[in-house]
Amino acid sequence: MSAGYLLKRLLLAIPTLFGVLVVVFVLLRVVPGDPVTMMVGLTASEEDIARLRELYGFDKPIFTQFLIYLGDVLQGDLGVSITRKQEVLGLILGRLPVTLELSLFAMAVALLGGMMLGVLAVYRPGRGGELVADGFSGLGLAIPDFLWALMFILLFGVLIPLLPISGQIDPRLGFEPASGFYLFESLLIGEFAAFQSVLSHMVLPAVALAIPLAAIIARILKSSLQEVMTQDYILLARARGFSRLRIVLREALQNALIPTVTLSGVQFTFLVGGTVLIERIFSYPGLGNMAIEAVINRDIPLIQGIVLTFAVMFIALNLIIDSTYVLLNPRVRHG
Amino acid sequence: MADRRGALVSAASDARVLFGAAVLLALIVAAAAAPLLAPHDPLEQDLLASFLPPAFQAGADPVFPLGTDSLGRDLLSRLIYGARVALTVALVAASLAALLGTALGLIAGYFGGWVDAVISRLVDVWMAFPPVLLSIVLVAIIGAGLHSVIIAIVIIDWTRFCRVVRAEVLVQREQDYVASAVTIGLGRWRILWHEILPNLLPLLLVLITLEMGIAIIVEAILSFVGLSVSSDQATWGGLIQEGRLYIHQAWWIMVLPMACIIVSVLGLNALGDGLRRTLDPVMRR
Amino acid sequence: MPIHRRQFLMHAGAAGVAGASLNSLLWSRQARAAIGDTLTIAYHVAPPSWDPTVGPSSVNPGLQSIYKSVFDQYIEQNPDLSFGPGILTEWGWNEDRTKVSMTVRDGVKWHDGKALTAEDVVWNLKRVADPETGNVVQVVWASLDNLQVDGNRITADVKQYVPDLFKWMAFLTGYLLPPQYYEEVGAEGFEKKPIGSGPYMVDRYEPNAFLRLKRNPDYWGGEPAFENVIFKFVTDPSSRVAEIESGGSDLTLEVPFEEFDRLKAKDGLVGVATPVSDVALIFFNDTGPMEDLNVRKALVHAVNKKAIVDRLLRGYGVPLDTLEAPEYDAYDPDIKVPYDPELAKTLLAESGYSKDNPVRFKIQATRGYRPKDYEIVQAVVGMWRKVGVEAEIEVYEIAKHFELRAQDKLDPAAFYVWGNASGDPNNSTGFAMFGPSPHSVWDTEDLDGMLAPVMFGEKDDQKRMAGWNKALRYIAENAYVLPLLQYVQPVVHRAELGFTPYTANFVLPHKITVKG
C-alpha cells in the first residue's frame, strides 16, 4: 500500500519537473536585453554576433529552442557559464556539497534549539519557562534570517571576535579535501584542525539559518507536548509521583517527537532556500553565493542551472520527506 | 484551574491582537500622514550635517530627532516615508497575491477534476523554487523598482493562498449549506461566490495579515541585495544596507530601520495569530 | 566611539543573549600571530575566469592584481604609471612608425619549467589579434602584422598605427599565457589549473572562497618575500573590515573611508590612501533634454564636487573637470568647470526651466560596485534638485550597464567609473567620448571629427597631445560629459608589512615585504 502511494508521488513529480523546466526556460529567455551581447567582447562585429546567435540557437523559433534546451538538460548538459567559461553542471556539483552540509548542520541546530525551547515551555508552563520560550520563538519568527546574520556579523566581527564571519575554512591550513563535504571529510580522515576550522566557520551562518526554523519547531513541539500531557498515561505517571521533568522528557517527548520531526521536515526546504542570502552575507562559498554572483554578472546559463538545481533538490527533498512521513505514520497510507 | 488557564490564554491572545492592531494602525498613520508627520523632506540633503546622532546622544542637533544619514538626510523622516513604501508593498502585494491565489484555489477546490489537477501541478512547480532566489532573479529580470518588487511577491506567494483556500473549499463543499444551495438550483459560480467565499473571508483575513509581514521582509531583502525601489526613495531595507557601512560611526542608521521591520513583522504576526485564534472554530475549540 | 558601541550593544541585546549562550561552544581564534611566511589578503573580488586576455574578467580592474601575481605582462608598470621592462626588455617603433621591434628577456621559465621563448610571445600576440578569441581590444593587437622571430628579437609591420600600442602591453589583456600548456589542456583545462610565468603559482583555487598561491622560486624579478599568499574573497566591505580588525587577514582594501580612518588609528595597523587611475563620471547620452546645451551646462555647474569629496568621501578623492587625472599624460589643470549654482539656474531659465518647472530625466547608477557610487549619485541628484532638475535614480547591476552601453541604450545620464591605468588619453577621454567606439555614450559628429585624427592619425607625440588639449577643452565647454572625481584607494595592512601603493590600483603581493 505504501509502495503504491510512493509510486504515485514519484509519478506526480515528473510533470512537476517538466513544469519547472518550462518556467526556468521562459524566465531567462524573456530577459530584456540580448544574451549574446554579454557573451562577446565590446568590439564584436555584427557578423560575430549573428554567428554566436546561430551557435546558441537563438535564431530558431522559441519552441525549437525549448526542445533543444530540454534535450540538453536531459543529457546533463546545462551549458557553459559565460563568466567562468566552465561547464555549468561541474560548477554546480562543486558547490552543492557546501550548501548541503551547511543546511544539514543548520537543521541539526534548529532541531536541538527548537526542542529545547519546546520542552522548556511545557516543563514550566505559564511561568518563566513558557514566557522565555514563547518570547524566543516570537522573535525568531519575526526576525528574518538575514537580519540575524547581519547582527551576528556586527557582534562577532566587531564586538566579540570569537568566531570567523567569512569563508568556509582557514585557507592557511592547507586542507585539500577530495569532496566538497569539508566537515564530514575532515572528521572522517581525522584532520581535526581542519574540522575545527570548518565547524567554527559554519556556526554563525548555520545559527542564523536555524533560528526561524527553531522557532517553528518550538511551537509545534510545544503544542503537541501539551496535547500529550493531557493523555491518561501521563496523568497516571503524575499520580505515581514521577518528577515533571522526567515525565516531559521520557514519556511525553517520545510521543510528541514524530509529528514534530516530520512537520519540521517540510520546513527544511525553506531553510535550504535561505542559504542564498546567508551564504552571501558570510562569504560562504556555496551554491547560493554563486547564484547571487551569477545574477550580478547576468550569467544566464549559470543562473538557469542554479535555479534548476534548487528546484530539483526541493522536489527530491519533498519526496524524501513524504516517504518518511508515510513510513512513520501508517494512517496516511490510506489517504 | 483549566478555566483560569483558558481565560489567561484568551486574554493573552487579546493582548496580542491589540498589540498587532496598534502596530498596523501606527503603520497606516505613518504612511498616510507621512508629509504631515515627517519633520523634513526625506530627500533633502545637507552634506554638512551628515551622521548626526539621535537627540538623546551627545552632539545631536534637535532639528533631527533621530539623527541623519551619510548625506545629511533626516532619519526620522526617512523612516516615516519608508513605512509608506513598506505598507504599500505589504498591502498591494498581499492583496494581489490573495486575489490570484484565492481565485485559483476556489476554482481548483470547487470544480476538482482536471482543473484541480492542472492548478495543483502549477502550485507544485511554483513551490519547487526557493522564494528568495526566485524573487532576486525575477527582479533582476524585470528591473528594479516598486512595481517589480510587488510583481515578484505576487508571482511567488500566490501559492500560499491557493493551497489553503483549495483545502478549505474541499471541506466547505461537503457542508450541508452547499448541498441545499445545489438543491434549490443555484448555479455553480453563484454558490462559489455567494455561499462559499463569505465563509472563507476570516481565513483570508488571517492569511493576508501574515502575508503582509512576509512582504515587508521580502522588500527588505530585495533592498538589501540592492534590487528594490531604485530611486533615492527611502526604504527600510535600503537604510539597513546603507547603515551597515557606517555601523561604527552611526549605528542608528542601521539599527532603527531594523527595529522598524522587526516591530512591524512582530505586530502583523501577532495580529494574524490572534485573529486565527478568535476566528478559526478549530483553534477556538 | 565607545559610547556608540555600548549603546549598540544594548540595542543588539537580543542577539547578544543568543551569542552568549554560544560562548561555551567556542574556541577563540588565534590572536594576531607573528607574521610568518604566509600573507593573507582579504580581497573584494574573485576571478570568475583565469584567462586574463579575453572576456569580461580580463577588463575588470579589480582582478588585475591577481592576474599580475600569476602571469607576466609584456611590459611592467611602475607605481607612478611609468613603464619598465617586463618579459620584453626593449621595445619601440622605427623612425616613421611603420615597424616595431621587441626583445624578449632571457632565461624566463613558465611555472611548468619550460622556457619562455620569443615564439611564445608571438603566439600570444597572434592569439589576441584573432577576433575569434574574443579579446576586447582585438583592434589594438591586430594593428601588427607579419611577426618575425630572430633569436630573442621580434619584429613586425605596423598595419595600422596605434599610438598607445606599447602602453596596452602593460595594461588590460596584455598578459602572456603558456602556449604549449594551453594547447595541451584547452581553455577549460586552463581554467581548472592555470599556469603562467609570474611571481606566484596557483596552489589551490576555491571559487568565491580563497586563492592560495605558492612562491615561484624561478621568478625572473627576484624571489618574493612570502612563501605563500592567500587571497580570501570577502565581497562584503564590513566583513573585510572585521577580517583585518580581528587579525584574520594581514591586508585589505576597498573599505569604507569612515572605517579606514578608524582602522588606521589603531595600534598595529597602517592605512595607505593613494589616488588611483579610476575616474568617477556621469555619462550624458545625446537624447531628450541632454540635447539642450543649456541643460547640460547647468547640470555640470550645479555639482559641488569638492563638497562630495570632502563630506561624502571624507577628503579621499580629487575633484576633476575632465576625464584626465593629474597622473595622466593629458592632464591640464587650467581646464576648469567651476561650481556655480546661480549660473546653472540662469542657464536653465534660458531654456524655460525652473524649480517649479524642472527638467526631468532618469539617471542610472550602480550600488556598491565602487565605493559610495550610489551615495555620490544621490548627492549629485540632490544638488541638481536645488537648481530645478528632477532626476530619477534607477539602480542596475554593472553587467547591465555594459550591455546597455554597448547597445547605446543608456538613460540620458549614467554614473560610471572609468579606469585607465595606461594614462593615455586614448583610453580615457578617447574611448569614452569617440562616437564609433562601442564604449562611448555621447555620439555627435562635431566631436568625432575632432577626436579621430588625434586618436589614430597623428604620429608626432607632441602634436598629438596638443590636439588632445584642444579636444578636452571643447568637451568641457560643451558639457558632453560630467567628470566628477578621481578615486582614492584605501589599503589597510599590519604595521609589520612594507606595502607599495600603485597609481594603477594594484596590490601586488610580490612587492610586499616584511619590515625590520
Domain tally for chain A?
1
Percentage of chain B modeled with pLDDT above 70? 91
The helix (H) or strand (E) run that includes residue C373 is helix C373-385
Q: For residue A20, is it within any domain?
A: no
Residues of chain C predicted below pLDDT 70: 1-34, 516
CATH of domain B2-284: 1.10.3720.10
Domain ranges of chain C: 5-52+185-272+490-514, 71-181, 275-488
- Is A48 in Cβ contact with C48 (below 8 Å)? no
3-state secondary structure string across C241-298: HHHHHHCCCCEEECCCHHHHHHHHCCCCEEEEEEEEEEEEEEEECCCHHHHCHHHHHH
Q: Which residue has the cell 520527506?
A: A321
In the complex, which subunits touch C with 3 or more CB pairs below 8 angstroms? A, B
Size of interface A-C (CB pairs under 8 A): 183
Q: Express each pLDDT in A272-302 by its tens digit.
A: 989 999 998 888 999 999 998 888 877 888 9
- Specify the pLDDT at position A39: 54
For the ranges A107-111, A165-169, C72-76, C502-506, which has the lowest average pLDDT?
Answer: A165-169
Angle at A14 between CA A9 and CA A17, to 5 degrees: 115
CATH superfamily of the C71-181 domain: Dipeptide-binding Protein; Domain 1 (3.90.76.10)
Q: Is C204 exposed, middle or buried (0-12, 13-18, 19+ CB in 10 A)?
A: middle
- What integer pLDDT is reported at residue A249 of this predicted model? 76
Looking at residue C73, the DSSP 8-state letter turns out to be B
Q: What domain range is A168 assigned to?
A: 96-289
In this complex, the residue of A16, A141, A151 whose CB is nearest that of residue B125 is A16
Q: How far is B154 from chain C (nearest CA, A)?
A: 22
The residue of chain C with its CA nearest to that of B143 is C396
Minimum distance, in Å, between the CA of residue A5 and any CA atom of chain C: 42
The structure's pTM equals 0.82
Instruction: At C282, list the grid cell.
Output: 556621469
Burial C57-88 (b: 16+ CB within 10 A, else e): bbbbbbbbbbbbbbbbbbbbbeeebebeebbb
Contact map slice: A 140-159 vs C, CB within 8 A: 143, 148, 151-159
CB burial readout A65-91, b (16+ within 10 A) else e: bbeebeeebeeeebbbbbbbbbbbbeb
Chain B interface disruption, residue of C263, C309, C311, most B CBs within 10 A: C311
pLDDT of amino acid B243:
86
Q: Note the CATH number of domain C275-488.
A: 3.10.105.10
What is the structure's pLDDT at A97?
94
Chain B residue closest in CA terms to A287: B133
User: Would the CB atoms of C55 and A296 count as touching at under 8 Å?
Assistant: no
Residue B119 corresponds to which cell in the numbers above?
A: 492548478
DSSP B51-83: TPPPTTSTT--TTSTT-B-TT--BHHHHHHHHH
Q: What is the mean pLDDT of chain B?
A: 85
**Nearest CA of chain B to the CA of C369: how many Å?**
11
- With CB atoms and an 8 Å threshold, state whether A283 touches C208: yes
CATH of the domain at A231: 1.10.3720.10
In the predicted structure, residue B54 carries a pLDDT above the cut 60: yes
Closest-CA residue of C relative to A297 is C399
With an 8 Å Cβ cutoff, is C131 touching chain A? yes
CA distance C437 to C443: 9
Long-range contacts of A317-322, Cβ-Cβ distance < 8 Å, separation of 24 or more: A317/A268, A317/A269, A317/A272, A318/A266, A318/A269, A319/A9, A319/A10, A319/A13, A321/A262, A321/A265, A321/A266, A321/A268, A322/A6, A322/A9
Residue A45 lies inside a defined structural domain of this protein: no
The minimal CB distance from C56 to the residues A34, A83, A200 is found for: A83
pLDDT of residue A319: 85
Does pLDDT of A37 surpass 70?
Answer: no
Residue C336 sits at φ, ψ, to 5 deg, of -130, 140
Report the pLDDT value the prediction gives residue A287, as an integer from 0 to 100: 93
Q: Can you tell me whether residue C102 is helix, strand or coil?
A: strand
Put simply, whether A285 touches C (Cβ < 8 Å) is: yes
In chain B, what are the domain boundaries?
A: 2-284
* C92 CB neighbour count, 10 Å cutoff: 11
Q: If we measure between CA atoms, which residue out of C375, B240, C248, C13 comes closest to residue A150? A: B240
C208, C246, C398 member nearest A289 (Cβ): C208
DSSP SS3 for C343? helix
Handedness of CA B50, B56, B62, B67 (dihedral sign): positive
Please name the fold of domain C5-52+185-272+490-514.
D-Maltodextrin-Binding Protein; domain 2 (3.40.190)
What is the spatial distance between Cα B108 and Cα B119, in angstroms, rounded to a whole number?
6
- Do C144 and C100 contact (CB within 8 A), yes or no? yes
| Interface confidence (ipTM) of the complex | 0.84
Q: How confident is the model at residue A205 (pLDDT cuts 50, 70, 90)?
A: very high
Of A27, A141, A273, the CB nearest to B131: A273
CB contact under 8 A, C12 and A211: no
Quick check: B247 and C375 CB within 8 A? no
3-state secondary structure string across B183-250: HCCCCHHHHHHHHHHHHHHHHHHHHHHHHHHHHHHHHHHHHHHCCCCCCCCCCHHHHHHHHHCCCCCC
Q: Give yes or no for a contact between A192 and A173, defined as CB atoms under 8 angstroms apart.
A: no
Residues in chain C with CB shorter than 8 Å from the CB of A158 are 241-242, 245
Return the residue of B nearest to C369 by Cα.
B226
The predicted structure's pLDDT at residue A296: 81
Torsion of CA C381, C386, C388, C391, to 10 degrees: 10
pLDDT > 70? residue B280: no
The C-alpha angle with vertex C88 and arms to C85 and C90, in degrees rounded to 5, equals 75
Tell me how far apart the alpha carbons of residues B179 and C84 are, in angstroms, rounded to a whole number. Answer: 92
Nearest-neighbour CA in chain A from C372: distance (Å): 18
Q: Does residue A68 lie within any of the structural domains?
A: no
Interface residue A272 vs chain B (CB under 8 A): yes
Q: Rounded CA gap, C330 and C466, in Å?
A: 9
CA of C394, closest CA in chain B: separation in Å? 5
